[in-house]
């Protein structure tokens, strides 16, 4: 006969192991799965045939636990004197809750992290073998209440051993390598449904969909971000390294040198703590009041308890501590928004032209706006998800205190089913949600295309067509919305049924405890009042994963933006730009936008201080690229550019841009007044200086003719102004800035001859003492240039003055000049008409009047324009528009 003390020790050990079994195995399984995901452990494909034994054995374990739980319930019902050992029942219920998802995941998973499963099998065998031995030695043989649990334990021990051996064989077994094995494919080349796709079927990172799913799974607008996120996960070695990448935001979120922000964080922390406490105290106080009202022999109002209940209710409400928490939350959120948006906006504006010419403006703007998603992510984790977990732990403990552990397990089972249904129906409805969003975007696109293009619609009388197209788009959106709502609302309805059944079951169990176990009635009232507090976390947990994912994707946009480095950077130790001399020198300059195609080759020239240098040549020859290199929009790939004796790369871009004035070929304005747009060149300029600049640019009288004069709004990008007016305002900006070096990119292409003469005179005054670079297709505008460079296919093929270049036999410049004056488009002898003495009004063979007035000494150059040809048209095509 066993010694009593030994029996007691075995019972204690048995009780502890029964309680600890399911939590420890479950914790290991979840932790191992999370660790595998964090380090990007590759899930291995395991065939269904190979998994069949594991699936069968794990379901046997699940059924064995269910059977034992039913046995205890049946014995309790059949024998009123029998009380099932709570530790054994909890052991069964916990294991049921554990082995159903494990069995189901083995059954559903084509690819698995097998280490978590194998570890769980090992722990399961150790626990069950130990429990079997303890049950066999701690009880009395021949006792039915002892033999039946021992039998179940023996079966489970044997099944666990076989499961462990099978898991070990799967772990050792090398999976066959096939051409379609996903382990051999790029990380991102996967279908939406998780099946593999041959690498040759798509480009890296593409998401494939089967034909059957194309309608339900349209291209996700965040696909590129998700692909880059997955690629970064692989590069960083897992989630830890990936999340650490967001550390760049911490200095801009952490309340450095802001005591009020620290105070707001303290307020939020206190509200978090008091919310957890009051969530418990408020329903408990109602229970205390109920007990005092039902247990009194003489009627007496429990004013003290009622007062506490009123205080708890007020203090936790919006009228109490809640208003402080909301104010603190807004302040923290706005501060983070201010800092993060300023950070991303500054970074975007500091990026090089290469970035801005290759990126969609809408995507960049969206990324700047979504910088605050990181703050939303932090708030979601620390102020929503973490309190949820705390509330669930408190709820499980408190309902066990009110009644017993069985009540906690009823809630736990109901909660697990509720969360699983939420995740399942969310995943199930997501394809329909994507279709709905796609249709909604198409509807918006339809209306935004039609309204701004109203004039085109009217020209072609397509009002009925656009109405029909928009109506179909609206109907498509509504149809897609219903398809999504049917799934989403159906999921909500089923979840609601589960919650109602769970609530009813809990209440019935609580009532039975009151009737048979003598629990106070106040405990039932407390539980009913506490129900909403327990269910709110369940709702949040079932849907928070989607919000976490979307917030992480949004924050990823901003992170990728901040990780983008400018291709043109300031030197670590810049020199101040010294403008004692504005001589500009290009030395052996070479440049390529793409290494596969050279744009500029061996460019050498010098623009002395005060000289005017003109670039001419056919479109695409590299003229504009020369000015962009001078602006340091890109850096040269070979050679150097110097101002004075300083390399452009030795000074800051800010100093360089202050010294340069640019009149672009296609100027754009802000949607502000004309005065504000011109003042943008020099913010401290007076109104008189602005008007003087406009007179110099021959735009002052035109502005005064507008109803609102200088206060006239110009519209988005200056759409209310003509092309000539836009260019003259751009010229006025340069006059106002008064730079040392001027860059004119076809600056008079959109003005007529009379205005051009005035602007040329203004340019002559502006260029005095300044180095000027001009790109011109209308050669009449650059006849007085000190140096004309003919650029063709990235090389300078001719250089000299206007007269010198006209004297070059078979020269390119002479050919261009003849095409713009009297040529018929064929190659002509450069000496024909090369002298400046051609007479005004000379007729060509087509009968068109050609104005080639020789330049005058006062600088009012006349233009050489073919009558009937629009200003600004491509000069190389002027002859082709004439009739022979």
Please report the pLDDT score of residue 125 as a whole number: 92
Do 255 and 367 belong to one domain?
yes
Do 744 and 598 belong to one domain?
yes
Structure tokens at 238: 């897992």
Please report the pLDDT score of residue 104 as a whole number: 85
Please report the pLDDT score of residue 876 as a whole number: 39
Determine the 3-state secondary structure of 272 from DSSP: helix
| C-alpha to C-alpha distance for 413 and 90, rounded to whole angstroms | 12
* pLDDT of residue 192 exceeding 80: no
Torsion of CA 336, 338, 341, 344, to 10 degrees: -90
Do 158 and 232 belong to one domain?
no
Do 158 and 290 belong to one domain?
no
Of the listed ranges 235-244, 279-288, 842-851, the least confidently predicted one is 842-851
Give the residue numbers spanning the domain of 381. 224-388
Q: Is residue 554 part of a domain?
A: no
Do 152 and 270 belong to one domain?
no
More confident residue, 551 or 796: 796
Mean predicted confidence (pLDDT) in 837-863: 34
Going along 776-851, which residue ranges are E strands? 787-792, 795-800
Please report the pLDDT score of residue 568 as a whole number: 75
Do 126 and 260 belong to one domain?
no
Q: Is residue 11 part of a domain?
A: yes
Q: Is residue 104 part of a domain?
A: yes
Residue 122 pLDDT grade (very low, low, confident, very high; cuts 50, 70, 90): very high
Do 366 and 232 belong to one domain?
yes
| C-alpha to C-alpha distance for 390 and 385, rounded to whole angstroms | 9
Of the listed ranges 153-167, 246-260, 261-275, 672-686, the least confidently predicted one is 246-260
* pLDDT of residue 878 exceeding 50: no
Do 162 and 244 belong to one domain?
no
Domains: count for the chain: 3
Q: Where a domain ends, among 364, 388, 412?
A: 388
Q: Is residue 71 part of a domain?
A: yes
More confident residue, 540 or 123: 123
Q: Where a domain ends, among 795, 815, 845?
A: 795
Alpha-helix residue ranges (DSSP H) falling in 296-404: 303-315, 323-350, 353-358, 361-369, 373-380, 386-402
Q: Where a domain ends, among 761, 795, 829?
A: 795
Q: State the Rg of the chain over Cα.
A: 40
Tell me the angle at which helices 521-563 and 323-350 cross, rounded to the nearest 10 degrees: 10
Q: How far is CA 492 from CA 429, 486, 539, 731, in A?
A: 11, 10, 10, 64
| C-alpha to C-alpha distance for 349 and 654, rounded to whole angstroms | 12
Do 660 and 771 belong to one domain?
yes
Residue 6 pLDDT grade (very low, low, confident, very high; cuts 50, 70, 90): low
Do 256 and 379 belong to one domain?
yes
CATH number at residue 620: 3.40.50.300
Residue 126 pLDDT grade (very low, low, confident, very high; cuts 50, 70, 90): very high
More confident residue, 826 or 715: 715
Q: Is residue 732 part of a domain?
A: yes
Do 20 and 87 belong to one domain?
yes
Q: Is residue 384 part of a domain?
A: yes
Please report the pLDDT score of residue 255 as a whole number: 65
Do 239 and 171 belong to one domain?
no
3-class SS letters over 587-610: EEEEECCECCECCEEEEEEEECCC
Please report the pLDDT score of residue 293 as a whole number: 82
| C-alpha to C-alpha distance for 835 and 854, rounded to whole angstroms | 10
Q: Is residue 765 part of a domain?
A: yes
Q: Is residue 258 part of a domain?
A: yes
């Amino acid at each position: 006969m066993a010694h009593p003390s030994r029996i007691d020790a075995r019972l204690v050990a048995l009780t502890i192991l029964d309680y600890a079994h399911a939590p420890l195995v479950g914790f290991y399984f979840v932790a191992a799965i999370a660790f595998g995901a964090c380090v990007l452990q590759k899930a291995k494909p395991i065939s269904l045939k190979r998994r069949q034994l594991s699936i069968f054995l794990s379901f046997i374990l699940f059924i064995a636990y269910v059977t034992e739980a039913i046995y205890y319930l049946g014995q309790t019902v059949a024998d009123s004197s029998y009380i099932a050992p709570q530790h054994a029942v909890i052991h069964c219920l916990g294991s049921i809750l554990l082995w159903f998802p494990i069995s189901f995941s083995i059954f559903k998973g084509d690819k698995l992290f097998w280490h978590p499963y194998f570890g769980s099998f090992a722990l399961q065998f150790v626990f069950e073998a130990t429990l079997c031995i303890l049950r066999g030695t701690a009880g009395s043989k021949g006792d039915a209440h002892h033999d039946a649990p021992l039998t179940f334990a023996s079966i489970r021990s044997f099944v666990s051993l076989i499961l462990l051996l099978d898991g070990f064989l799967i772990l050792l077994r090398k999976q066959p390598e096939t051409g379609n094995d996903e382990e051999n494919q790029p990380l991102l080349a996967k279908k939406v449904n998780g099946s593999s796709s041959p690498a040759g079927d798509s480009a890296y990172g593409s998401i494939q969909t089967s034909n059957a799913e194309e309608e339900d799974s349209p291209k996700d607008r965040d696909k590129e971000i998700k692909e880059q996120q997955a690629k970064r996960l692989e590069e960083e070695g897992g989630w830890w390294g990936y999340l650490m990448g967001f550390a760049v935001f911490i200095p801009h979120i952490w309340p450095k040198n802001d005591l009020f922000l620290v105070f707001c964080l303290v307020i939020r922390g206190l509200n978090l703590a008091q919310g957890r406490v009051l969530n418990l105290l408020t329903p408990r106080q109602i229970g205390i009041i109920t007990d005092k009202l039902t247990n009194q022999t003489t009627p007496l109002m429990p004013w003290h308890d009622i007062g506490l209940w009123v205080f708890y209710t007020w203090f936790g409400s919006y009228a109490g501590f809640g208003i402080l928490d909301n104010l603190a939350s807004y302040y923290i959120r706005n501060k983070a928004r201010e800092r993060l948006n300023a950070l991303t906006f500054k970074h975007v504006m500091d990026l090089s032209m290469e970035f801005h010419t290759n990126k969609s403006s809408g995507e960049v703007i969206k990324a700047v706006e979504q910088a605050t998603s990181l703050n939303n992510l932090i708030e979601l984790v620390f102020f929503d998800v973490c309190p949820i977990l705390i509330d669930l732990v408190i709820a499980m403990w408190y309902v066990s205190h009110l009644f017993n552990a069985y009540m906690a397990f009823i809630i736990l089972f109901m909660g697990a089913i509720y969360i699983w249904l939420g995740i399942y129906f969310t995943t199930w409805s997501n394809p329909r949600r994507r279709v709905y969003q796609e249709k909604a975007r198409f509807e918006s696109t339809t209306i935004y295309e039609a309204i701004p293009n109203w004039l085109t619609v009217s020209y072609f009388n397509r009002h009925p067509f656009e109405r029909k197209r928009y109506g179909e788009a609206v109907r498509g959106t509504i149809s897609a919305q219903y398809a999504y709502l049917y799934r989403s609302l159906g999921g909500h309805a089923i979840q609601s049924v589960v919650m109602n059944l769970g609530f009813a079951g809990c209440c019935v169990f609580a009532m039975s405890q009151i009737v048979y176990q003598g629990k106070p009635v106040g405990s039932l009232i407390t539980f009913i009042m506490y129900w909403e507090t327990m269910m709110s976390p369940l709702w949040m947990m079932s849907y928070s994963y989607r919000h976490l994912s979307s917030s992480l994707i949004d924050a990823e946009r901003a992170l990728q933006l901040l990780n983008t480095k400018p291709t043109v950077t300031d030197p670590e130790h810049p020199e101040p730009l010294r403008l004692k001399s504005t001589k500009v020198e290009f030395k052996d300059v070479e440049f390529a936008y793409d290494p596969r195609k050279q744009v500029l080759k061996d460019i050498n020239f010098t623009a002395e201080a005060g000289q005017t240098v003109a670039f001419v040549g056919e479109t695409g020859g590299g003229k504009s690229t020369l000015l962009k290199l001078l602006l340091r929009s890109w850096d040269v790939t070979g050679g150097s550019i110097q101002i004075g004796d300083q390399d452009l790369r030795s000074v800051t871009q800010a100093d360089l841009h202050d010294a340069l004035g640019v009149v672009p070929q296609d100027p754009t304005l802000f949607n502000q007044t004309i005065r504000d747009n011109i003042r943008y060149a020099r913010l401290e300029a007076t109104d008189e200086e602005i008007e003087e600049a406009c007179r110099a640019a021959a735009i002052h009288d035109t502005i005064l003719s507008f109803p609102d004069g200088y206060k006239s709004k110009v519209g988005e990008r200056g759409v209310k102004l003509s092309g000539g007016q836009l260019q003259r305002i751009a010229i006025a900006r340069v006059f106002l800035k008064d730079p040392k070096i001027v860059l004119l990119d076809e600056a008079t292409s959109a003005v007529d001859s009379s205005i051009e003469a005035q602007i040329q005179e203004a340019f002559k005054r502006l260029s005095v003492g300044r180095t000027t670079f001009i790109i011109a297709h209308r050669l009449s505008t650059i006849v007085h240039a000190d140096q004309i460079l003919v650029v063709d296919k990235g090389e300078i093929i001719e250089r000299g003055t206007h007269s010198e270049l006209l004297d070059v036999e078979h020269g390119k410049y002479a050919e261009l000049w003849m095409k713009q004056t009297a040529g018929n488009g064929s190659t002509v002898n450069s000496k024909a008409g090369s002298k400046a003495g051609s007479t005004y009004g000379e007729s060509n063979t087509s009968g068109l009047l050609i104005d080639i007035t020789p330049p005058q000494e006062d600088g009012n150059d006349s233009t050489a324009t073919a009558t009937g040809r629009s200003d600004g048209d491509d000069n190389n095509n002027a002859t082709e528009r004439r009739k022979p």
